[in-house]
Structures are given as C-alpha cells and as structure tokens.
Structure 1
C-alpha cells in the first residue's frame, strides 16, 4: 500500500455528532431535541433504537479523549447540542451544558488536540420545532444566531474553529421531504425554503461569531455527492445535471456565488426560496473554509413521475444487510458504492468552479461488518477505503486544490440515525452493552499514517 504523504501541517482528525454519542439526554438540565422525539416513535428507527445512552460520551469523555490521543489525532470535530446549552432553544442559558463543553474542550487542549465545534448537526431543540416548525420558519435563523452568540461568548476562549451547520441538504431532504430523519415530515414543497433558512442561519451565525471572536475560523460543512447519468441516454445526462443542482449546487452556488441555480429555482417555481433583501449578502459572506463530506457517487435517471425535477436518484440501494460486492465493486454495509474518484471530483469542483477556497474534509468513512474477536477488530476493508479516498484527496492537493485537513467519520461506532446501532463506521469499536472501547485495526492504521506525516520535514 503506497505511503500517503501530506506533510506535518496537514490536519488529521475524526468526527462525531452530539446526539449520536453523548447520551445523558435527561441529565444536566438538557432540553429535548427533535431527535429525542423522533427516535422514540415506534418504527422510525431500525430495531426501535434511540440515542438515550448512545456511547455515554457525556460521562466517558475523558476516556474518549485519551483514546484520541492514543490515535495521535491532531484535531477533533464534534457538535454541540443546542438544547443542552439553551434547553428551550432561546432565552435561558444552561450553565451545566456550557460547563460540559468547557471541560471537553479543556481535555482536548491538554491532549494537544484542536477542537472543531459544529453548532448544528440536525438536533433542533424540540421547543422551537413545536413553536414554529424549526427551519421551516425564518425565525429559526434568528434564534440560531442568538445561540451562536451565546457559545462564542462562553467557549470562544477555548474553541477557535467553528462549523455553523452540518449538511443543510440532508436535514432538509431527509427530515422534511422524505421523512426518514427527524422531524419526519414529507413536504417536498418546503425543501428550498428549509435550505434557505439554514443558509441564512449560517450567515447570521458567522457574523455573530466574528463580532465576538475576531480570531475565530468559521466555515460550514456541506455534503457533496457527484451525480452521474444512469445511462448514456441524453435524458439521463440531463437528469444528472438537474440532480447535481438539486443535491450539490443548491448550497455551493448561494454560498460561493451569491445566488441559487437559476434552472432549479425555475423548476420549483413558487416553491423556490423566499429571499428577502440582504439575505444573499449574508449567505455569501466569505468563509474561512468549506467543509466537505463525501462518501460515494450516485446516479440519476430521467422520469416524469418526480414533480419539479423529472429526475430519480438511483445510486444507493438503501440500507443493506451487510457489505457486499456487486459487479466487481465493493459496497459498504450501508449499501453505498465504494468509488474513491467521487471525492476527487467534488474537490475539483471547488477548485475549478468556485475559486479554490480553503477546504477541510469534515467527513469521509465507511461502515463495514466489523466483529470483535479476542479483543481485536480486523477491518481491512475500512483501511482500504480510507487509503483509497485519501489518495484521491492527495491527488487533488497535488493539482493545486487547497485542502488543509481530513476528518474520518467516525471516531467511534455510534447511533447511526435511522439505522440505529446496526451499522458501524468507527475507528473505535463500542460494545453497547458494556460501553467497552476497542481501537480497531483501522484506528491503528490511521495512527501510523499520522505519525508518518508528523515526522516529515
């Protein structure tokens, strides 16, 4: 396996999200989020799992930071629970919630690990959802800005790197269009407005953080998944173009060009975003970096049956029973095709179409069928996946792309949203019955990669 040499200044991290690992949902005066409600609705989560305990990170964070140090991580991306800090979403600040994140940040800094904090990883406070529908309503952007100001004031002396939003497209489409994520709505006509309100929240939060912490680095994380035509038919090529506008350029264009894709807005007609004066200036304010999440590519087929878009995305197979090989190509336990050039493709978009901004790979990784045998998890498929995708990242860097770091998804096995605890993405294996942590072979491989690069001149 070819050595991957990025240099000693390259950031090597791992990522998590609050609801997926923290647990302690009723402790420390935390308020409920939409995921607490959604995961307790029968049949919404595979095997009716929920995040009440998850990885118990709220209590075990010192052990988890020690494991990060053993892996040699130089950075750790985690999310703050909005309702742990503001239990009602606005107003009263919960000192216990603030104190938890202060202690976590202090432990990371003591271990020589730079904290990267995400403000919103899909866990909208339930009170705001009940009050006005969460990001269905423009008010959510204003309340999010208040939340950003609170955390910048309280934590900005420790945390210098901020990610405002995680994957606005996923929160909108999976939560408000398809309904497989919280809050569980199926209202496709709301899609563009939910995205717009999230992007507006990003712009307002960026402004608030910079006002309070001029030394902060602030960006946003986007899921970027290249859409390819399902066949050589002209209509499928057209569908792929529409698919890329719908899934990728819907966030890239407003953030980096100051406008939404014109054809997409035309297709959505009166359901296009309701833009008020000043919105696009806020949304397109310069970021310090763009976070990129990529796992795979997908395919588009033309169809008249899909309103607005006439496009059906056919790349994923849903949730698979386990990892498998199809037509000679490895697929993960999620049923996702392993296609390393996908990450290169989206990085080249940023370089060639969007003026080559600073980029962090904020998520990349894979679920495979891991087994703990005599204290060891041998996961060569994950090692091969990470090596292949990182090689494509290096290729983009060698061609001039400004990529400064990489975060594996995920640090540890966790509550994987709609599939509960059935799929394992982690570098660290979690025995959910005992909370025993075991570093997988992929974790040790990543540790050795980090050491190799830190020793470079």
Structure 2
C-alpha cells in the first residue's frame, strides 16, 4: 500500500496549489475516522460477551447482523496498521458495554477488559489519539429485560458504574470521552419509529410488539441526559484532575432550509431545530427543554427538578455532532384531533424533503448551517464532528473508485474550514467510516468505508478505496483536495494503475 500512497501523493503535489489542505486548519484540529463496537468487532459470542439489544433486535427479525462484522476483535492489530499507513491522527470508536460488563452491572469481564486495553495500547503507541464513545446504541439485553433499560431511571446508576470502570481502566490513555452517541436518533428509532433496537413503538402499521410513541421517546431522552450528567459529574469529581480529559455528548444534526419564504415555513424550520437539536442541546447549555417543545408536548415531556437542571446544565465539555445531509422543511402542523396518534414526529409537525448526499452545494450549506446555528444559539461551544460520510452500494469496482465519496468529503471538509474561519469553535472532524462496517439500518447492502472489506472472504480482506488514498494524502498535508473533473479523472487513472 505504501507504493500506492506514494504515487497518489506525487500526483497530488504536481497538479496544483489552489484549494485548501490540512495545514489551513488550526494546528491542534483533530482529524480522524470512526468505527463502533457492534459494527466492527464481531466475536459476538466469544470470550464472555453477552447479547446487547442490537443482537436481540436483529436476530428476532432474521436480519443481517454484527455477529462477525469486520472481526475487528481478532484483526485489530492489522486494522491499526492500516490506520498508521493512512496517516490517521485519531480514531473514534466505542466500547461494548456487554463485552466489558456482560450483565450490565457487577463483574467486569477480564477478557473484554484485556481486549480494550490492548486495542487502546496499539493506537497510542502508534500515535493515534483515542476518542471513545461509551454508549453507541448497544445496551446490554439483561438490563432491558430486567427493568426496561433506558425507560427506567435505574439505568442512571448502572450507566454511571459502567463508565466508572472505563474511566478507571482506560483513562490514562483516553482524553476524549463521548457518553452517548446520536442520542436523538437512538431515541426516535428505538422508541418512536421502532425500526431500530429495542424496536418499541405504538404507531399503526408498524410491527412493534410493545411501546408508546407518545411518551417513551421523551422519557428515554430525559434519562439519557441525566445519565450523561451523572457520568460527567463522576469524571470531574474523581478523574479529571488526574487524567485531564473531557466529556461530551453527541447528537445527529441536520441542515434545515425552509421550502418557501412564508412565515409558517420559517417557523417550521425553528420548530424542527428545537425538536431535533434543541431537545437535548438546550438542557446541556441552558438547563431545560426549548419553550416551544414544552408548549407542544405538554405533560408528556418530563420535567427537570431544580437540582437536575443544574446538574445537566454545563455537563458537556464539548458537543459531538454526526452530520450527513440537509433537508428542506415545510410546515404541516395539523389541528388537534383526539383520534390521531400522537408521536414525536406529529409533535414536530413538519415535512422533511431529504436532499441527496451527493448534492455538494447542499453539503456545503448543511454543514455551515448546523455549525453557524450552534455558534449563534448556544454561545459557540467546542464542537467535534464525530461522524460525516456518504454511503455507496457495495460493488467492488464502484467501491474502489469511489469518486463520489471523495467529492462529498471534500465539500464537507471545505465547509468545516469556512465555519472555523468564521469563528466556529469546531475542533475535530471524523470520517464515517474507516472501513466498511455492518451498517445499523442497511446491513451489508451499503457501506460508508474508505477501505473495502470483502465480507465473502473468510479472511475479510481489506482494500483501500480512492477515498482512502485521497484522505491519506490530505492528512499528510500533501494534497489540495478535489481539483475538478479533470483532476479526479487523473487521480482515478493513477489509482487504477498503481493498484
């Protein structure tokens, strides 16, 4: 692979000096890529690991699953070597709660503990900064069975005990902790729509066996915030002075644009921002939910006590955002109807038209919209973009020459640079994903990876795509990013011949 990277680098050095490169960002800006435990590790039934709600959800529906995934559990040294060759400065990954503490509470699994210590050690000795997510959707099934998992406040104590183990065992090598991944997506998918674990909803036409889409999303979100605040409080009290790290919280963010200039559509954009972002960002910044959200949801929205409000407020040292696309927003607020099923989306009362992830102008404004809104609304807190990428159907030749992904990443990184230059306190950017993974909603049909994984090969061979070569050159400060159709065509040609 080194010879391939060298040829690509030489080409990129020769084709011009316009555009931007890594050196245009602040010196301490964190560039990296990302994976997650359930989507990468595999070894689902090995060395003491017990099922998470994702194991149960997918197996009960006979869907693709992460039983093997990329087999990162066994191939982590090989994967770290790929990261080194790519020049990756940082990796964002998650810890499997049910591998580390199989029953959700109680005894720590020594083999799980050893795996994460070994993996983190490999990253650190090769100069790759670990950014650790503590909860990436995969709650131990035992806690879901015992008391309903995130629907119960009992989860706060168990989550705090789990993160205490992580802080204690890994904190000397980990300085960046993200407590909850995509809190809004986990909540809406798992408890409103029922299309992700644990698969709860009460919407007509859905196959959920149980749930209440009118109340459970708000209850779960409330408990996520309280659990995060508890973990943050623990870290500051017990570990921060010794380890010097920071604790954040992440949300899935969307760039919103009104479909018309009408007052109704402009209000709809703000309502969408309140429900999809302000829902959890506002308690973290201001200590309470958005006023419009409280007005619409009413008594179904849990209330923070004065003490809880103070605990949640200021509990995030940084905000993590996972950003992929923009949408056009139209108002569709309906008049109250007693017979209509109430759920999160009917509460929001908007229609969203999703823009293609390959529409680069949309990419530019979507990222800038989110970063500018956070800067203006929330007082410019530190931001880490923990996921950004685009999917492509899994076809070997199309995958390896993933021109669209190169164009997409270039557009988004350029948008981030503009936001930083405009004063946004954005401190990091992570490509989703480092390699093809088991994808939560699409299994193995689509992939986001910069490295192709041959899931039909018993050895799960990894191969670099065009995007891996491009990002590697960018990380090493050698390229000026995407330089037009002629440049990308030449890049493809050189990639093919060198491969």
The answer to whether the superposition gives a TM-score over 0.5 is: yes
Cα distance in 2 for residues equivalent to 1:94 and 1:337: 48
Q: Pairwise mapping of residues 221-240 of structure 1 onto structure 2 (< 5 A)?
A: 221-240=250-269
Q: Pairwise mapping of residues 356-435 of structure 1 onto structure 2 (< 5 A)?
A: 356-369=380-393, 371-373=395-397, 377-434=400-457, 435=460
Cα distance in 2 for residues equivalent to 1:211 and 1:30: 30
1:363-415: per-residue Cα shift (whole Å, max 9, x none)?
Answer: 111112353249x8111100000000111100011111111111001111111
1:121-174: per-residue Cα shift (whole Å, max 9, x none)?
Answer: 010110111111111111112211111111111111222211111111011101
The answer for the alignment partner of 1:29 in structure 2 is: 48
Cα distance in 2 for residues equivalent to 1:153 and 1:405: 25
Q: Cα gap change, 1:352/1:360 in structure 2, threshold over 3 Å: closer, same or farther?
A: same
The answer for the alignment partner of 1:322 in structure 2 is: none
> Alignment partner of 1:222: what SS?
strand
The answer for the alignment partner of 1:204 in structure 2 is: 230
Contact 1:8 1:453 in 2 (8 A): no
Contact 1:11 1:75 in 2 (8 A): yes
- Tell me whether 30-39 or 227-236 shows the greater mean CA deviation: 227-236
Alpha-carbon RMSD across the aligned residues, in angstroms, is 2.2
- Tell me whether 214-223 or 145-154 shows the greater mean CA deviation: 214-223
Cα distance in 2 for residues equivalent to 1:336 and 1:99: 43
Q: CA deviation at 1:454?
A: 11
1:438 aligns to 2:463 (yes or no): yes
Q: Cα gap change, 1:191/1:211 in structure 2, threshold over 3 Å: closer, same or farther?
A: same
The answer for the alignment partner of 1:309 in structure 2 is: 347
Q: CA deviation at 1:227?
A: 2.7
Q: Cα gap change, 1:17/1:294 in structure 2, threshold over 3 Å: closer, same or farther?
A: same
Cα distance in 2 for residues equivalent to 1:19 and 1:166: 13
The answer for the alignment partner of 2:20 in structure 1 is: 3
> Alignment partner of 1:220: what SS?
strand
Cα distance in 1 for residues equivalent to 2:271 and 2:179: 27
The answer for the alignment partner of 2:283 in structure 1 is: 254
The answer for the alignment partner of 2:296 in structure 1 is: 267
Q: TM-score when scaled to structure 2?
A: 0.83
> Alignment partner of 2:471: what SS?
helix
Cα distance in 2 for residues equivalent to 1:310 and 1:112: 45
Match of 1:116 among 127, 131, 138: 131
> Alignment partner of 1:361: what SS?
strand
Q: CA deviation at 1:241?
A: 2.1
The answer for the alignment partner of 1:324 in structure 2 is: none
> Alignment partner of 1:452: what SS?
coil
Q: Cα gap change, 1:18/1:337 in structure 2, threshold over 3 Å: closer, same or farther?
A: farther
The answer for the alignment partner of 1:323 in structure 2 is: none
Q: CA deviation at 1:277?
A: 4.1
Cα distance in 2 for residues equivalent to 1:175 and 1:76: 27
Q: Cα gap change, 1:293/1:98 in structure 2, threshold over 3 Å: closer, same or farther?
A: same
Contact 1:141 1:201 in 2 (8 A): yes
Q: CA deviation at 1:245?
A: 1.0
Cα distance in 1 for residues equivalent to 2:478 and 2:401: 24
Q: CA deviation at 1:233?
A: 4.1
The answer for the alignment partner of 1:195 in structure 2 is: 221
Cα distance in 2 for residues equivalent to 1:178 and 1:300: 20
Contact 2:473 2:479 in 1 (8 A): no
Cα distance in 2 for residues equivalent to 1:125 and 1:148: 14
Long gaps (5+) in structure 2? 1-17, 202-211, 335-339, 481-499
Contact 1:296 1:336 in 2 (8 A): no
> Alignment partner of 2:353: what SS?
coil
The answer for the alignment partner of 2:208 in structure 1 is: none
Cα distance in 2 for residues equivalent to 1:418 and 1:22: 17
Contact 2:400 2:465 in 1 (8 A): yes
- Tell me whether 392-401 or 221-230 shows the greater mean CA deviation: 221-230
Q: TM-score when scaled to structure 1?
A: 0.91
Q: CA deviation at 1:303?
A: 3.6
Bigger proportion of residues as helix: 2
Figure out how many residues of one structure are paired with residues of the other and give that number: 436
Q: Cα gap change, 1:109/1:10 in structure 2, threshold over 3 Å: closer, same or farther?
A: same
Q: CA deviation at 1:265?
A: 1.3
Match of 2:104 among 89, 92, 102: 89
1:355 aligns to 2:384 (yes or no): no
Long gaps (5+) in structure 1? 317-328
Cα distance in 1 for residues equivalent to 2:144 and 2:353: 32
Q: CA deviation at 1:299?
A: 3.1
Q: Cα gap change, 1:277/1:7 in structure 2, threshold over 3 Å: closer, same or farther?
A: closer
> Alignment partner of 1:339: what SS?
helix
Q: CA deviation at 1:201?
A: 0.8
